[in-house]
Structure 1
């Protein structure tokens, strides 16, 4: 197969308030649109949104003047599936069943594979997902805790972490499978992963709020204080406490802000309270990076800061001062979901990588 062949790939990233789509010719973005959901669609149950989201996607492409039959493949954002190793997976019926039955939880990302699969089937195309949040390459010892029957879970920003790790490997003149990299994804959640020779062998579960605090998550807390929180009359249900710790803690709680851009504005204004909160966050992230350096036995080719909070230079500089003795630090701000999905699909179409099979092991 010629590497000069141009493949046209539709990528789909469903969000709570919108569906992001893009069309790539190989890894060149030729069209991108953020399809905002109407209030009527927003009020539907998650899985009732499939048909209107799908129709909006096809309409957007048709309105562009692009023939749907010109597509070579479709890739959706992976959702809360059973734990799997990293890579590109061809979407199959078992995957769809697991997403619909919420085998590992209900989340808007579950719609990515479903939308890709249904649109692709109508066009007789293959559909894929790439590195979903449930990528699990952790060792047994990394999953173990002080309570034998409680195991740590691998849920993290796998798509962007692996994407930027591959980008750094190319920059260093190596393959991803030849490098040891620590990636800190800084966003609504913070995940810091130890990438050893192409596998993420340890990472904090930022989805549940383990590790450093983030924009909205509390991070790890002292056990006794957490138990006291459960007995607090203001947290009279487990669901209310989860909401507080996962969606209303971190920088949100420190600074009473609603969006990451609000934090950036406060830092630009040199707001004292914002700077103090960022210092605490930076300290915790740097400490987590240090832990992952130990996991990699001190053999670290580079450290990456990525995600939307990596746009804050003050935060980056704080972390770099703490960890640059471990290895050089590189910044890749933002979340490169659409390009990462396209690249993962392209590797399969070009024969550089074989699509994996999603199955019950």
Structure 2
């Protein structure tokens, strides 16, 4: 049996879980107050603090780190890479410690490798947010100075696609599926034989979400930018934070909005409009797969909403059968990635982030 520690840092919390093979033994969300984090100038400086909190939680729950077989970490900033399970190397830790692109996810590998080194095991990161598998045609934006970034919920999308394949008695790389992650961000990906060959960028493309605008008419955005009404930072908040459901209804909790929709026709209409845009993304991805779609999968927190999933199903069920896997299984997905390596189902990859001749950072 293999015992895996999974680490998933967020901006004000760190989720950890311990798994024995495919069974979760322990899960905890470690909350970090604003005052605690304010002591640190950079996110990377939180490393020792968060590591100590993790070890304390494990000790309090009688989990001995020397019983671990591997540490599975959320992926942080690297250059764009294909999906899969990667070995956390000293190079990865150095890159994520020094990159100007700070994100709490960078802490996972740094903490995980330190714990793994103390035990004499390996640390891995799984289906990183930097996963980029778009086909060449999908990378075109419409202007040569802009390449479509394709940032999406790679960890959860791929985990759910693998789970669906397992449930069907097949392998992930045998199927063509469209996976919709429905949450604070919405990403709809075309999974072709194990690769996400097209997907909307969850930060600035596709359907609007609880707080994000998704795709907007570009000329109107340009006019707003130069109107004098908004600053640069306010425009960023305009599209991510003050957009979507929040813009139309002044609310961003889909559960509350669904309750409101039972008596407020406008709330119902806005939810249907968001679902309509998700359905359009699914239809577009069906063309990417040449109509050869084995299944459409709805996942993420919003997939708990029967109203929203029904709105979507009504429009896309003619393409393929729709399956619902609500919630996110990120800790489980991290552990499963490590287990695939430990059982020799998958060979861990190694990412090179520095040129061999010099020690300057590769531009991400």
CA change 1:48–1:259 in 2 (3 A) is farther
CA change 1:261–1:18 in 2 (3 A) is farther
1:52 aligns with 2:49: yes
Provide the rounded CA distance (Å) in 1 between the counterparts of 2:78 and 2:221: 29
Following superposition, the deviation at residue 261 of structure 1 comes to 4.2
Q: What secondary structure, in the 3-state scheme, does the structure 2 residue paired with 1:235 have?
A: coil
1:256 aligns with 2:250: yes
- Within the candidate set 194, 204, 207, 1:209 is matched to 204
1:13 aligns with 2:13: no
Q: What secondary structure, in the 3-state scheme, does the structure 2 residue paired with 1:257 have?
A: coil
Following superposition, the deviation at residue 258 of structure 1 comes to 4.8
Partner of 2:172: 176
Residues 12 and 116, structure 1, Cα contact 8 Å, conserved in 2: yes
Residues 10 and 74, structure 1, Cα contact 8 Å, conserved in 2: yes
1:276 aligns with 2:272: no
Partner of 2:24: 29
Provide the rounded CA distance (Å) in 2 between the counterparts of 1:231 and 1:348: 52
Partner of 2:361: none
Partner of 1:233: 228
Partner of 1:335: 328
CA change 1:116–1:259 in 2 (3 A) is farther
Residues 189 and 209, structure 1, Cα contact 8 Å, conserved in 2: no
Deviates more, 1:294-303 or 1:144-153: 144-153
Residues 186 and 209, structure 2, Cα contact 8 Å, conserved in 1: yes
Provide the rounded CA distance (Å) in 2 between the counterparts of 1:133 and 1:111: 14
CA deviations over 1:203-235 (Å, ceiling 9, x no partner) = 0110x3211111111101111111011013231
Partner of 1:40: 35
Residues 83 and 136, structure 1, Cα contact 8 Å, conserved in 2: yes
- Within the candidate set 87, 92, 105, 2:84 is matched to 87
Residues 191 and 203, structure 1, Cα contact 8 Å, conserved in 2: yes
Matches within 5 A, 1:1-361: 6-43=1-38, 44=40, 45-102=42-99, 105-206=101-202, 208-237=203-232, 239-267=233-261, 269-360=262-353
Task: Work out the number of aligned pairs and report it.
Answer: 352
Structure 2: segments with no counterpart, 5+ residues: 356-364
Structure 1: segments with no counterpart, 5+ residues: 1-5
Deviates more, 1:128-137 or 1:255-264: 255-264
Residues 133 and 155, structure 1, Cα contact 8 Å, conserved in 2: yes
CA deviations over 1:48-82 (Å, ceiling 9, x no partner) = 22111110000011111121111111111112221
Provide the rounded CA distance (Å) in 1 between the counterparts of 2:65 and 2:279: 47
CA deviations over 1:112-146 (Å, ceiling 9, x no partner) = 21221122122222001100111111111110122
- State TM-score, norm by structure 1: 0.94
Following superposition, the deviation at residue 256 of structure 1 comes to 1.2
Q: What secondary structure, in the 3-state scheme, does the structure 1 residue paired with 2:147 have?
A: coil
Provide the rounded CA distance (Å) in 1 between the counterparts of 2:93 and 2:258: 39
Provide the rounded CA distance (Å) in 2 between the counterparts of 1:271 and 1:22: 41
RMSD of Structure 2 on Structure 1 (CA): 1.5
Residues 85 and 135, structure 1, Cα contact 8 Å, conserved in 2: yes
